[in-house]
Amino acid sequence: MLMKPQRSTRMFSCKTLLWMLAFASTALGTQTAPEGRQLLAQMLEDCDEIVFACRQEGLDGHWYANFGYYAEGPQRKAYRARGRLCKLRVKTGDVVTLLDDLEGTIRDPQVHYEGRKILFSYRKGGTEHFHLYEMSTDGSDLRQLTNGPFNDIEPTYLPDGGIVFCSDRGHRWVNCWLTQVAVLYRCDANGANIRQLSSNNEHDNTPWPLADGRVLYQRWEYVDRSQVHYHHLWTMNPDGTGQMVFYGNLRPGIVMIDAKPIPGTDTVVAIFSPGHGRREHAGAVTLVTAALGPDEPSAARRLSKTEDYRDPYPLSKEYFLAAQTDRLVLMNSQGQIWPVYRLPTALAREGVTCHEPRPVRPRRRENVIPPRVALEETTGRLVLSNIYDGRQMQGVRPGEIKQLLVLESLPMPIHYTGGMDPISYGGTFTLERIVGTVAVESDGSAYMELPAVRSFFFVALDEQENSVKRMQSFLTVMPGEVTGCVGCHEHRTQAPVHRSERGPLALQRGPDRPVPIAGVPEVFDFPRDIQPILDKHCLSCHDYDKREGGVVLTGDRGPMFSHSYYTLTYRRQFVDGRNDPKSNLPPRAIGATASPLMQKIAGEHHEVRLAPPETRMIRYWIECGAPYPGTYAALGSGMIGEYYENKQVGTDDQWPAAQEAGAAIRRRCGSCHTGNTVLPASLSDERDVSFWRPDPDDPRLRLSRHLVFNLTHPEKSLMLLAPLAAKAGGYGICREGSVGPGAPSGQSVFADTADPDYQAILALCRQGKAHLEQIKRFDMPGFVPPAAYVREMKRYGVLPQEMPEGTAIDVYQTDRRYWRSLWYDPPK
C-alpha cells in the first residue's frame, strides 16, 4: 500500500499539473541509462532497488541553509518544496514513488540494517518543520517519529538500535549568517528519549557510523580563527563521548561532508565541497584514510573530475553511488562515471535535483560501543596527560605552565550577516566566558571536572598568568564521561610516553573544578570594563586636545565602535585570531603575552603602570577575544552603516546632510587625499575596505569612518580638527595647495569654523549623533534590543510572551538566562 501525505481538496495550477505529469513519466523508465544500470546490477547481486530523494535545491548558496527561517522572520523560509521519495528498480529502470508532496520537502533517506525500513526527514506541505519519519521499503506504514517546533534532519540508524540525527533544538544561530544551527542529537528507535550530543555553536552534519561503532560527522567551528575555513571530519561515540578529530582540522578551506566508511577498509568516501562549501553539499568525491593521521594532505585522494557531486555511497572498495545535479551516477575508484538515472527535463527546470541514493538491501551492523555516560550527572571529567607533549611547543620549558584558563564559547541567539560586527572589528565572532582556572602539575598533567554538553577551550598560563599556548578548537564532555588527551595538539600517530609508573601527578588527587578569577567579569564588555581604565591612565596624553602620536583613546562613539576600541584594533595593540585561516600557532604568538598593549601598561610606555587588578582586567579581556560589546543584543543595532546579509544597510547615504558633507569633503580634501588616503565621504563610507576581514596593513584603516567621525562630540571629529587652523581650535594638519581663487599655498583648509564646508561636515556629524541617540547603542541608556532578538528570546522561553514591543530590558541578564537555558539538565 502506497501512503501519501494527507492533503486538503484543492485545485492544481497548470504548472503543478505539468510537474505531476512529468514525474509520472519517470515510472515508465524513460530517463534511465541502460549501461550504467547493467553495471550497477552486477554490483548489487543481492538487491535490485535504489532509494533516493528528490527536491528543489535551496536558494541560499551555503551548504547548511536549507531548513528553518531567516533572521528577518518566519515569513522567509530557507527550504523549498517539490519533495519525493523514490525507488529505482535497477534491472528494469522503473522508478516507483514511495512518497510525494509537491509542497513539502523530503530528504536524507537511510535504509535499516535489515533492509525493510527507510528512515528519512520530511517536512509536510503546509507545515514549517522537518521531522523524522520511517516507512516500510514498499511505501507502506508511514509513521512520524519526532515532533515539536524543531527541525530534525540527516538521521541515520545506530547499531545499538537508536538513531542519531541533526537538529535545531539547541536554539542557536550561525555566528556568521542569518540562519539557524543544527547539531547532533540521538533518540530511541521510536523517537523517544531525545538527547543532545554536541554543544557546537555551528553546524554538525551528516552523521554516519564507522565499522568500529563510532559516529563520523562533519563539524564546523571557528574558535579565534577564520569562519569560512574549518569544517572537517570528526568522530564521537554514539552516546556523545570521545569527541575527536578524524581528518582535516588543520587543513583549511574545504567542507568535508557526507562521509561514509568503505566496507573492509580504513578509508571513507566523502564530499570535499570547495572553499566554504556549496549549496546542498556539492563538491568532489574524495577518498580519505585516517591511517596517516588527521592532518596529512596525502591521506585524501580526489576521485571526481568535477565538483558537482553529492551524497556518495560506497557499494564496494571500487564502486560508489552518487548524486550529480539532476541524475544518479555510478563511479569507480578511478573517477569514471556511468549515468544510472536522470530526472525529466521538466523537473530539472523546476530546480528539482536528486539526492542521497542508497541501495535497498540488508547490511551488517557496526560494532556496538557500550554507553559511557551517567545521565543523572551534570559534569564530566577530563585528564590531560602532559601539556608539553605536542606540536608547536618549541621553547616551552617543562614546569613553565602552571595553570589552564578555561574559557567557554557562547552560543548566539540570533545573527544577521556574514561578518562579526559589532562583536569585534575583524576578530572574534563569538563572546567567550571565563569559567576559571585549573592547576597544571609539574609533570604537565591536569585533571578537571567540567559542566556537561558545553563548549570549552583552554589557554596555558605561566606563573605570571602570561599566555603560553592557546587552543583554537573546543571540547565537550558528556554527563559522567571520563576522557582525556595526551598533550597540546599531540601527534596522533605517536604513542604517548609514560614517564612515571604512578601515572600523571594530577590523577593522584581528585579533579579540579575551575576556580573563578577574582575581580574580572565572566563576559567582558569594552565600554563597561576597559574604557574606565583607559580614561584613568591614558586620556591625559591621548585625548582630542593632546593626541600624542596621533592616538585617541576616548570612549567617544563612531558609526559602529568607540574610537578607543577601533584604535586599539587597527594599531594591533592586542593579538587575537583575526579571523585568519591559521591554527595551532607557536607559543606566545597569540593572546595577551603577544599583545603590545600589555607591555605599554607594564611601565614601558612613559612609565604608565596599572594597578594589578586593572592589568588583570585588560589581560583577560584580550584572552577572551577582545570583544567590543558584552551582549549579543548589540548585533544588528546601534550602528550607522551596519550589515545585513552581507549588504550595508541603515546608511546615511541618502541623507541630504551626508550628500552635502560628501561634496564638501571631495571639494576641499580630494586634491590631496587620493588613492589609499581617500577620506570617507559619509558615515557609512567603507571605501571598499572589507567589513569582515580587513587587512591590518591596509593604510586606509587609519582614516576609517570608524575613527574620523565623532558621534559623541561632533566638533571633535578628526574630519574637522585635522583641516581646521590651530588658532581656530583645530590641529592645522591639512593645508591647501590651491583650493579656490586666490587661496595661498600652505593655508589651513578651514581658517575658522564659519567656513560653509566645515559647517556642512559638522552638520553631518551632528545628525549622526542625533540618529544614534534615537536608535541607541547597547551601552546607551534606554537601549532596546532588536525585535528579532526579542522574538527569539520569547521563542526560547527566556522572555515572557506577553512582554510589550519596545520594552527596555537588561540585555546582559537576558543573555545569561539564555545561556543558562541551554545547560544540560538531567532527566527527571
- The tens digit of pLDDT for each residue in 248-305 reads 998 899 999 999 999 999 999 999 999 999 999 999 999 999 888 898 999 999 999 9
Contacts of 499 (CB under 8 A, 6+ apart): 386, 443
User: What pLDDT does residue 607 have?
Assistant: 85
> Concatenated DSSP letters for 645-664?
TTEEES-STT-HHHHHHHHH
All three cell numbers of 491: 601527534
pLDDT-derived band at 1, boundaries 50, 70, 90:
very low
Measure the CA–CA gap between 73 and 145, rounded to whole angstroms: 27
Instruction: Give percent of the chain above pLDDT 70.
Output: 94
Over range 333-360, report the average pLDDT.
95
| Inter-residue contact 53 to 120 (CB < 8 Å) | yes
Strands (E), 238-336: 244-247, 254-261, 267-274, 284-289, 300-302, 309-314, 319-324, 327-332
* DSSP one-letter code for 280: G
> Concatenated DSSP letters for 510-555?
PPBPPBPPTTS-SS--IIIIIHHHHHHHTTTTSSTTT-GGG-----
Over range 353-379, report the average pLDDT.
97
| Inter-residue contact 689 to 796 (CB < 8 Å) | no
User: What pLDDT does residue 738 have?
Assistant: 40
507 Rama sector, left if φ>0, alpha if ψ -120 to 50, beta otherwise = alpha
All three cell numbers of 33: 541509462
Q: Helices 756-775 and 656-669 meet at what angle, rounded to 10?
A: 140
Measure the CA–CA gap between 25 and 46, rounded to whole angstroms: 28
- Amino acid 205 reads N
Contacts of 711 (CB under 8 A, 6+ apart): 556, 557, 558, 559, 640, 683, 765, 768, 769, 772
All three cell numbers of 290: 585516517
Strands (E), 284-378: 284-289, 300-302, 309-314, 319-324, 327-332, 337-342, 352-359
pLDDT-derived band at 32, boundaries 50, 70, 90:
low
pLDDT-derived band at 31, boundaries 50, 70, 90:
low
Whether 29 has a pLDDT exceeding 70, the answer reads: no
The 3-state DSSP class for residue 189 equals coil
Whether 26 has a pLDDT exceeding 50, the answer reads: no
Contacts of 342 (CB under 8 A, 6+ apart): 31, 32, 33, 326, 327, 328
Burial 768-783 (b: 16+ CB within 10 A, else e): bbebbeeebbbbeeeb
pLDDT-derived band at 745, boundaries 50, 70, 90:
low
Whether 11 has a pLDDT exceeding 90, the answer reads: no
Phi and psi for 119 in degrees, rounded to 5?
-100, 140
| Inter-residue contact 32 to 338 (CB < 8 Å) | no
Q: CATH topology for 14-359? A: Neuraminidase (2.120.10)
User: What pLDDT does residue 3 have?
Assistant: 37
For the beta sheet containing 467-470, the strands, ordered from the edge strand earlier in sequence to the opposite edge, are 432-439, 403-409, 456-461, 467-470
Cis amide bond preceding 422, omega within 30: yes
> First-to-last CA distance in the chain?
41
Q: Which residue intervals of the chain bear CATH 2.120.10.30? A: 14-359
Nearest Cα residue to 809 out of 798, 822, 819: 798
All three cell numbers of 99: 512518497
